[in-house]
Amino acid sequence: MSQSGSTNNTGEPAVIPRSRHPVSRANISPNALKVLYRLKDAGYQGHLVGGGVRDLLLGREPKDFDIATDAHPEDVRRLFRNCRLIGRRFRLAHVLFGREVIEVATFRARQESRDSAARHVDEDGRIVRDNVYGTLEEDAFRRDFTVNALYYNITDFSVIDYAGGVDDLNAGVLRLIGDPETRFREDPVRMLRAVRFVTKLGFRIHPDTERHITELAGLLADIPPARLFDEMLKLFMGGYALANFEALRHYNLFGQLFPLTERSLAHEQEHFPLTLISHGMDNTDKRIAADKPVTPAFLFAVFLWQPVRERAAQLEAGGQHPAQAMQHAGSQIIAEQVKVMSLPKRFSLPMREIWMLQLRLANKGGRRSLRVLAHPRFRAAYDFLLLRAQAGEEPEALGQWWTDFQEQNPQQREQEDSPTRPKTRRRRRPRRRATGGGA
């Protein structure tokens, strides 16, 4: 795609006609097209916007299709019976088609353009509520990055570019719209989004945008833990976990998400913690590429293992039994981590089991091996053990033993468990002597 997207000298947007861009309705979700056409037929503007347009211009398959319109959320709900309204910070309409959700957002005004009770900014410049509606142009300049401020117009199938997003797509550059410091203060999560987009797209961050990230990383401390958890899933469960981990550390952002882990990485021994996490992220990417399941419980187990391990060692030194120390250490580290980032119990409980099973996996042999093999969390704990062996924390022979043990048939496992155990003979109870009643 070579068509320039820069605005012209009059401030008008670049309008790229259908004949000069690759976006085709054949590659757009039929449900998104239904929403676009119904908005158009009802007299409203309807544009595909954001990542969907960006990915189509790059020849990629979009994950989601979002729509921008001049219709208010209540108007959208009147047009679609299968619509629900969500959000307080940003009021949105979700049009539901089975498992597919088409998100419809009303054009929003620029932050500085209007004064209204519907918008509120805190003392640090962070937007906490923004439901002031505006025009298409205002909406374009309110978006975060230039490559996400591209609109596909269903009326004439053109692409509208107010911010030079097409030029940045061609150059492989991720650039914030407006003053970077102001935009990051409005929403510090944009720093995490910047990392996610550059690793996904293979772009580079524009220097004017990049230089503010490290110095403003601490603003993430003000983001609600639940929102950080959602961003964590996007970063590490999208197929680019290893690249995102390395980029987050480079920009001083990883420590804002996992401060205890970052502290451990700062005094790593023989590169162990960093190696373990790198192996874990690479393993996650490979599983996603192979369409295998990935659970946040395993990711959190990897990220928090070194802090748990260090805390358990301290508790053992204080006289606690290893199993008790591991249990207490896990509880303490989780309690500290959830102050920063939410961790639902449906993930924290299996994570604890993965950690506790590491002690049992280290003591192979005997009937206990069969009991460990039957544990519902065995497979995850076994995979975790293999990562630890790759990182050099456990001998590779231990992981190989469990690999071989799983491949044996039940009879072989019985022999492996008790090769020298003597057969025990059942003791016969002594027969009671009968006694007579006479002399």
User: Which positions are annotated as active-site residues?
Assistant: 64, 66, 144
Residues 6+ apart with CB under 8 A from 326: 308, 312, 355, 356, 358, 359
Position 361: which residue type?
L
User: Which runs of E-coded beta strand occur in 180-230?
Assistant: 204-205
175: tokens are 């650039």
Distance CA 263, CA 301 (A): 16
Dmax (CA) of the chain: 133
Residue 291 one-letter amino acid: D
How many whole angstroms from its chain centre is CA 114?
34
Q: What does the block give as tokens for 2?
A: 């070579």
Instruction: Return the bridge partners of 120, or none.
Output: 129
Strands 66-69 and 100-106: parallel
The amino acid occupying position 151 is Y
Distance CA 188, CA 173 (A): 20
Contact call for residues 342 and 229 (beta carbons, < 8 A): yes
Other beta carbons less than 10 A from residue 419's beta carbon: 8
C-alpha separations of 86 from 63, 73, 77, 95, 110 in Å: 20, 9, 11, 11, 21
CA 236 – CA 251 distance, rounded (Å): 16
